[in-house]
Amino acid sequence: MDTYTAPLRDIRFVLEHVTPLSELTALEDLAHAEPELVAGLLEEAGRFAAQAIAPTNREGDEQGATLVDGEVVTPESFKRVYQQYVDAGWGAVQHPPEFGGGGFPLTVANAVKELITSANMAFSLGPLLTTGAVYLMVHHASEEQKRTYLPRMVSGEWAGTMNLTEPQAGSDVGAVTTRAEPVGDGTYRITGQKIYITFGEHDLTEQIVHLVLARLPDAPPGTKGISLFIVPKFLVNEDGSLGERNDVHAVSLEHKLGIHASPTCVMAYGEDSDGAIGELVGAPNDGMRLMFTMMNDARLGVGLQGLAIAERAYQQSLAFAQERRQGRGPTDAPGEQVPIIEHPDVRRMLLTMKAYIDAIRGLCYANAHALDLAEHHPDASVREHQQKLADLLTPLSKAWGTDLGVELTSLAVQVHGGMGYVEETGVAQHFRDARIAPIYEGTNGIQAMDLVGRKLPYDGGAFVKGVFEEIRADVDGLPDACRDIGAALAAAVDELATTTDWLFTRRESLADVLAAATPYLRMFATVVGGWQLAKGAAAAQRLLDAGHTDAYGTGFLEARLTVARFYATQLLPQVHGLAPAVMAGADDLFAVTAEQLAP
Amino acid sequence: MDTYTAPLRDIRFVLEHVTPLSELTALEDLAHAEPELVAGLLEEAGRFAAQAIAPTNREGDEQGATLVDGEVVTPESFKRVYQQYVDAGWGAVQHPPEFGGGGFPLTVANAVKELITSANMAFSLGPLLTTGAVYLMVHHASEEQKRTYLPRMVSGEWAGTMNLTEPQAGSDVGAVTTRAEPVGDGTYRITGQKIYITFGEHDLTEQIVHLVLARLPDAPPGTKGISLFIVPKFLVNEDGSLGERNDVHAVSLEHKLGIHASPTCVMAYGEDSDGAIGELVGAPNDGMRLMFTMMNDARLGVGLQGLAIAERAYQQSLAFAQERRQGRGPTDAPGEQVPIIEHPDVRRMLLTMKAYIDAIRGLCYANAHALDLAEHHPDASVREHQQKLADLLTPLSKAWGTDLGVELTSLAVQVHGGMGYVEETGVAQHFRDARIAPIYEGTNGIQAMDLVGRKLPYDGGAFVKGVFEEIRADVDGLPDACRDIGAALAAAVDELATTTDWLFTRRESLADVLAAATPYLRMFATVVGGWQLAKGAAAAQRLLDAGHTDAYGTGFLEARLTVARFYATQLLPQVHGLAPAVMAGADDLFAVTAEQLAP
């Protein structure tokens, strides 16, 4: 029942007509990512995800990862599938060719990530963390560090991790206390503990390269005194072979609500020695800045998880709704039971899932598209503009994508009725797995603060207003047949602009701005999602008008229009219900004490 | 960390100032439920729930219920606590004195249910089902059946269950195929299987009395051919002692997302014989009607589960937010970390939980209040009116209470950050437990269909419009200091009235009406919740104005005002965002085929 089909046609449509890959391949850096090559790549990735990885999902949940004598054991099927992943080079897609990477746009690499995450979110986290570590090292490690670590990390033979969180330093990363003492030979001795380290230890690779935030002895307090270190599980000999075991160990695993097969480790450094041996990356006390350079990539990657898990839960729900028979449709005569997809309310659930999934996909792919242009466009002003756009979209992708991941997997449980609550059905796992994504990689509250605090003020507000103008221009350019979509989108962007103006009037009252953050982010993302769907609807309408339906099929194109109209007229208007909360200010929030709120 | 405090002051405030218990005790039937007696009862129930039951919640989740050689084993602590429950007579509160019950209003019994459910939802389900069975038998069983079963079911010495669902008959109960053959001696032989039978078998009581829906040999098809039978686990001898084991057995248990300690059984009747021995309740083929008489009570009971589990998760979140330190508040100077409750976004989460909880409590207690008046008021026209009101409120209590149960426990996970995803913290259990409630006792989609299909048409629409007028009259009567609450509520009820009018214009198009059902229910319940909060705010304002603050404390009363204002100005406006979905019609839902929606 819980099978998975790679939604290649949906993805291809976005890459051709919503956030065109052709705009990327027009650039010299990315010219090799030709449409046919990309199509073949995605097809292959889809096959691997659906046929090899997807069947491991439930087994992974049941077996989980376990800690046995200090070693983390992953489910048996993971080892086989991970080896296939390395052999096919899936981890290398987005990385630079000089280290063995495919040099594909992030947009394409993210499509691959979506497929693999839908297939098995817990499994996907290992590669995701490695990708993040590679990204960071490509940009900031020394030539020697790159030479030593990157080729085998890009290939996936070695894994990478991110070690930030400590018990007292979660959202507040500046409170990190792990220490790094210089030894004098260029290396450092790292001592301390980290928590919530995803794939901090496992048996999928012979080597794990930990990127660790720690403080030098003379470091200033807060985020300005944090440095970044490479701490490999095994020291690497001159000849590249693995040497001594470093003193970094997983001392326990968390027992979690979901992603059971992803080992979430408490890591100890230097418990049995003077410290784990580490190498500094970049300059002393510059660790937070280095981490920030990979933040968009990492946060977008988590937003994609919301999309990916919702897509899988949606597919299962759609299949179930066609098989399961109960009751009669509103216009049926008494008699046989009908498939529940004939009931309006079940259709509403399915269309809600489909519309939001398409909207999140549009948003996340637009986000990756902006990151690609920001990195590869020859014109500096374009790069700067696209970087700002990516910065703006990232908190939306992360928070909205993952909040909806939870909401849509919950709808998927509901479509299944009683069977949805039974673990064997598999849909409850998606609901459990999805629940982590609003929390890690910066909680969604942090994303909302980032949006209103850091991103809105770009160019004194002119940047975000420019985005609204872009949306309005696209509304004006919609074909006549999409008029109702355009009207709803225009009203929504006006509402968003009104609340944005209000936020600028309150710039002096940080509490008011922060109090608005979460409903404002929801509004903003809902509008941007609707924008992407409207673009797709316009393209679908034009293809239909021109009779160019061969590449997708008339049915697919008509469904794009229906889904976009459903979203615009039935989901997008929720922004009007959120605006009052945005403009309410913080007074009522702080008018009660904790004691008054207690029973 | 995951302790529980009975919210007695909140409950007392509702019973004194929102849905006054005094209106019930003014009736002869209920005159004995004096305020002090009720206060003492609730205090005692709160102590029992918090001190005896609440500590069993996590253990119950971890141990779960298991099937060992055909017998269901519940967690060890359940046996001890259940015995205390029986000894104290908690199961008897709402039942008639003639069978040993307390004869208290349902309103009071539901308050007790709320406390026990907050303490341990899985545990509470056993007593809940027994209560439902007693309710049904009090109204429909023969005198002899009552004499035989009721005293020990009311006391809780014997348990009761409801056996409706079969694999092909979930929402579509009319599809039941379990057979009942008359033997000729007044008894029947029951054969077949039922699924999802809550506490269908367990070790808490010596006897379990199953109420089973089955078909007589000559029964007409569909719901009109279903009869109701008593099938006791042990036959009862003339002298009341337990006799032979009846051929009804649990053949397997479901492995569920949550409520692990509540055994969800597949029940088999007559596997080892000609059939389990059953007695007919009421007339042949009248089973569905009899079941329907307990539907309001049962559905309201499930709505209360949403409230109860949200309350517990909220309490845990509030405590965590005061202990956990991260970052600085918007107006704090750099330095020490502050409790996260100082962050506006965390406050928004907590106030959202608190406001919705108070609103659901208002709704559910108003619902019980209407049921009590409908049963006990001497004036037939009042009884009729209150029955209609209860009928209208019941789908709101059930669906909105349980949808919010999921949403608010999800917020509770979010408040906890990474710790929320770790099972040891306990809040993830609430999230898992809460997820069943939108599904069972009629899915929330069924509730919404019930609202638009059966309840709205009362008196050709005049009844529901009368409710809107009642709300408007209450708005007009609000003290000046509650003007902003009144304005928001007036606008919301106008929006609800507009969508209601639209629904009446579409009476001929059942698909349009059913397509609107879920967003319409959400709107309706959000308004009724706001109405209850506004009533409470008015009362709080009047007590403050009069200086009568002793009974609650000034801080409590001021918090009622703030929470009600927060709800009215920041949550209630969401109804405006839902109205377009209500009035969209079914066309877009049916404009796509399943094939077009598939990847």
C-alpha closest to that of A374 among A11, A30, A18: A30
Whether A128 and A92 have beta carbons less than 8 Å apart is answered as no
3-state SS of B75-108 is CHHHHHHHHHHHHHCHHHCCCCHHHCCCCCCHHH
What distance in Å separates the CA atoms of residue B554 and residue B414, rounded to the nearest whole number?
Answer: 31
Whether B10 and B361 have beta carbons less than 8 Å apart is answered as yes
Q: Could you count the other beta carbons within 10 Å of the beta carbon of residue B172?
A: 20
Is the Cβ pair A592, B345 closer than 8 Å?
A: no
Interface residue of B195, B254, B570, B583 to substitute, partner A, most A CBs within 10 Å: B570
What distance in Å separates the CA atoms of residue B183 and residue B177, rounded to the nearest whole number?
Answer: 19
Is the Cβ pair B414, A439 closer than 8 Å?
A: yes
Whether B338 and B327 have beta carbons less than 8 Å apart is answered as yes
pLDDT over threshold 90, residue B430: yes
Length of chain B: 599
What distance in Å separates the CA atoms of residue A291 and residue A397, rounded to the nearest whole number?
Answer: 19
Sign of CA dihedral A134, A121, B57, A68: negative
Is the Cβ pair B347, A589 closer than 8 Å?
A: yes
What distance in Å separates the CA atoms of residue B574 and residue B361, rounded to the nearest whole number?
Answer: 19
User: CA of A281: how far to CAs of A58, A93, A173, B304, in Å?
Assistant: 39, 24, 18, 55
Is the Cβ pair A439, B413 closer than 8 Å?
A: yes
Tell me the pLDDT band of A407, cut-offs 50, 70 and 90: very high
Residue B441 a catalytic site member: yes
Whether B160 and B298 have beta carbons less than 8 Å apart is answered as no
More confident site: A2 or A198: A198
| pLDDT at residue number B293 | 85
Whether A70 and A137 have beta carbons less than 8 Å apart is answered as no
Which residues from chain B sit within 8 angstroms of residue A569, using beta carbons? 580-581, 584, 588
Find the CB nearest A573 among B254, B414, B577: B577
CA of B567: which chain A residue's CA is closest? A581
| pLDDT at residue number B1 | 56
Is the Cβ pair B348, A515 closer than 8 Å?
A: yes
What distance in Å separates the CA atoms of residue A2 and residue A312, rounded to the nearest whole number?
Answer: 8
What distance in Å separates the CA atoms of residue A143 and residue A552, rounded to the nearest whole number?
Answer: 46
**DSSP string covering A525-578, please?**
HHHHHHHHHHHHHHHHHHHHHHT--TTT-HHHHHHHHHHHHHIIIIITTHHHHH
**From the candidates A114, A201, A342, A441, which is the catalytic residue?**
A441
Which residues from chain B sit within 8 angstroms of residue A559, using beta carbons? 592, 596-597
Whether A529 and A567 have beta carbons less than 8 Å apart is answered as yes
- What is the share, in percent, of chain B residues with pLDDT greater than 70? 99
pTM, 2 dp: 0.98
CA of A46: which chain B residue's CA is closest? B599
User: CA of A357: how far to CAs of A119, A350, A541, B288, in Å?
Assistant: 16, 11, 20, 40
Is the Cβ pair B589, A511 closer than 8 Å?
A: no
User: pLDDT by residue (tens digit) across B129-168?
Assistant: 999 999 999 999 999 999 999 999 999 999 999 999 999 9
One-letter amino acid of B513: V
Is the Cβ pair B257, A350 closer than 8 Å?
A: no
What distance in Å separates the CA atoms of residue A183 and residue A189, rounded to the nearest whole number?
Answer: 7
Find the CB nearest A418 among B439, B559, B586: B439
> Structure tokens of B268?
């088999």
Is the Cβ pair B171, A345 closer than 8 Å?
A: no
- What is the share, in percent, of chain B residues with pLDDT greater than 90? 96
> Nearest C-alpha of chain A: how many angstroms from B404?
12
pLDDT over threshold 70, residue B169: yes
Which residues from chain B sit within 8 angstroms of residue A195, using beta carbons? 418
Find the CB nearest A331 among B348, B440, B511: B511
| Residue B266, beta-bridge partner list | B252
What mean pLDDT comes out for the span A275-285? 98
Is the Cβ pair B337, A175 closer than 8 Å?
A: yes
Which residues from chain A sit within 8 angstroms of residue B355, using beta carbons? none
pLDDT over threshold 90, residue B55: yes
Q: Could you count the other beta carbons within 10 Å of the beta carbon of residue A453?
A: 15
Tell me the pLDDT band of A5, cut-offs 50, 70 and 90: very high
Sign of CA dihedral B523, B524, B526, B531: positive
User: CA of B297: how far to CAs of A221, B153, B387, in Å?
Assistant: 60, 17, 12
Show Cβ contacts of residue B42 under 8 Å, excluding neighbours closer than 6 positions. Answer: B6, B8, B11, B12, B108, B111, B112, B115
> Nearest C-alpha of chain A: how many angstroms from B348?
6
User: pLDDT by residue (tens digit) across A198-256?
Assistant: 999 999 999 999 999 999 999 999 999 999 999 999 999 999 999 999 999 999 999 99
User: CA of B204: how far to CAs of A202, B68, B156, B527, in Å?
Assistant: 44, 15, 10, 41
| pLDDT at residue number A2 | 74
Find the CB nearest A348 among B341, B343, B589: B589
Phi, psi of A284 (to 5 degrees): -60, 145
3-state SS of B420-462 is HHEHHHCHHHHHHHHCCCCCCCCCHHHHHHHHHHHHCCHHHHH
Phi, psi of B40 (to 5 degrees): -65, -40
CA of A518: which chain B residue's CA is closest? B345
Is the Cβ pair B424, A255 closer than 8 Å?
A: yes
User: CA of A424: how far to CAs of A58, A236, B441, in Å?
Assistant: 9, 44, 21
What distance in Å separates the CA atoms of residue A131 and residue B195, rounded to the nearest whole number?
Answer: 46
Find the CB nearest B410 among A8, A406, A574: A406
C-alpha closest to that of A542 among A592, A484, A482, A586: A482
What mean pLDDT comes out for the span B23-50? 96
Mean pLDDT of chain B: 96
Task: Pick left, alpha or beta for residue B422 (phi over 0 → left; psi -120 to 50 → alpha; otherwise beta).
Answer: beta
Statement: B158-285 belongs to CATH 2.40.110.20: yes
| pLDDT at residue number B332 | 73
> Nearest C-alpha of chain B: how many angstroms from A382?
34
Long-range contacts of B214-219 (CB under 8 A, 24+ apart): B214/B176, B214/B178, B214/B179, B214/B180, B214/B188, B214/B190, B214/B278, B214/B287, B215/B176, B215/B177, B215/B178, B215/B179, B215/B180, B216/B180, B216/B181, B216/B182, B216/B188, B216/B284, B216/B285, B217/B179, B217/B181, B217/B182, B219/B284, B219/B285
Find the CB nearest B566 among A258, A519, A588: A588
C-alpha closest to that of A522 among B352, B585, B307, B429: B352
**What is the number of H-type helices and E-type strands within chain B?**
20, 12
Is the Cβ pair A171, B326 closer than 8 Å?
A: yes
**DSSP string covering A76-95, please?**
HHHHHHHHHHHHHTGGGTTS
H helix or E strand, kind and range, residue A344: helix A344-376
Is the Cβ pair A445, B414 closer than 8 Å?
A: yes
Which residues from chain B sit within 8 angstroms of residue A410, using beta carbons? 406, 410, 435
**From the candidates B114, B441, B508, B558, which is the catalytic residue?**
B441
User: pLDDT by residue (tens digit) across B415-428?
Assistant: 999 999 999 999 99
CA of B417: which chain A residue's CA is closest? A439
Whether A392 and A465 have beta carbons less than 8 Å apart is answered as no
> Nearest C-alpha of chain A: how many angstroms from B588?
6
pLDDT over threshold 70, residue A330: no
> Nearest C-alpha of chain B: how many angstroms from A50?
12
Is the Cβ pair B449, A345 closer than 8 Å?
A: yes
Show Cβ contacts of residue B350 under 8 Å, excluding neighbours closer than 6 positions. Answer: A597, B314, B317, B318, B321, B341, B415
State the distance between the two ends of chain B, measured CA to CA, in whole angstroms: 45
> Nearest C-alpha of chain B: how many angstroms from A152?
31
pLDDT over threshold 80, residue B329: no
Find the CB nearest A555 among B443, B589, B596: B596
Tell me the pLDDT band of A328, cut-offs 50, 70 and 90: confident
Show Cβ contacts of residue A379 under 8 Å, excluding neighbours closer than 6 positions. Answer: none
Which residues from chain B sit within 8 angstroms of residue A255, using beta carbons? 422-424
| pLDDT at residue number B330 | 66
> Nearest C-alpha of chain B: how many angstroms from A283?
25
| pLDDT at residue number A353 | 98
User: pLDDT by residue (tens digit) across A170-213?
Assistant: 989 999 999 999 999 999 999 999 999 999 999 999 999 999 99
| pLDDT at residue number B273 | 97
One-letter amino acid of B149: Y
Q: Domain residues of chain B, as ranges?
A: 8-143+150-154, 158-285, 451-591
Is the Cβ pair A559, B596 closer than 8 Å?
A: yes
State the distance between the two ends of chain A, measured CA to CA, in whole angstroms: 45
- In 3-state terms, chain B is what percent helix, strand and coil (to 5)? 60, 10, 25
Find the CB nearest A256 among B422, B518, B558: B422
CA B266 to chain centre: 23
Task: Pick left, alpha or beta for residue A251 (phi over 0 → left; psi -120 to 50 → alpha; otherwise beta).
Answer: alpha
Length of chain A: 599
Whether A495 and A523 have beta carbons less than 8 Å apart is answered as yes
What mean pLDDT comes out for the span A247-271? 98
What distance in Å separates the CA atoms of residue A531 and residue A564, rounded to the nearest whole number?
Answer: 9
SS3 B591: coil
Interface residue of B346, B592, B593, B595 to substitute, partner A, most A CBs within 10 Å: B592
| pLDDT at residue number A3 | 87
Q: Are strands A158-163 and A207-214 parallel, antiparallel or unpaired?
A: parallel
C-alpha closest to that of A524 among A461, A442, A464: A464
Least confident piece of the model among A290-294, A344-348, B410-414:
A290-294
Query: For A332, which DSSP code?
Result: P
Whether B197 and B264 have beta carbons less than 8 Å apart is answered as yes
User: pLDDT by residue (tens digit) across A61-120?
Assistant: 999 999 999 899 999 999 999 999 999 999 999 999 999 999 999 999 999 999 999 999
> Structure tokens of B586?
């079914």
Is the Cβ pair A325, B168 closer than 8 Å?
A: yes
> Structure tokens of A286?
């510059």
Q: What CATH superfamily classification does A8-143+150-154 receive?
A: Acyl-CoA dehydrogenase/oxidase, N-terminal domain (1.10.540.10)
> Nearest C-alpha of chain A: how many angstroms from B442?
10
**Cα dihedral: A141, A440, A528, A361 (round 10):** 80
User: pLDDT by residue (tens digit) across B186-238?
Assistant: 999 999 999 999 999 999 999 999 999 999 999 999 999 999 999 999 999 99
Show Cβ contacts of residue B505 under 8 Å, excluding neighbours closer than 6 positions. Answer: none
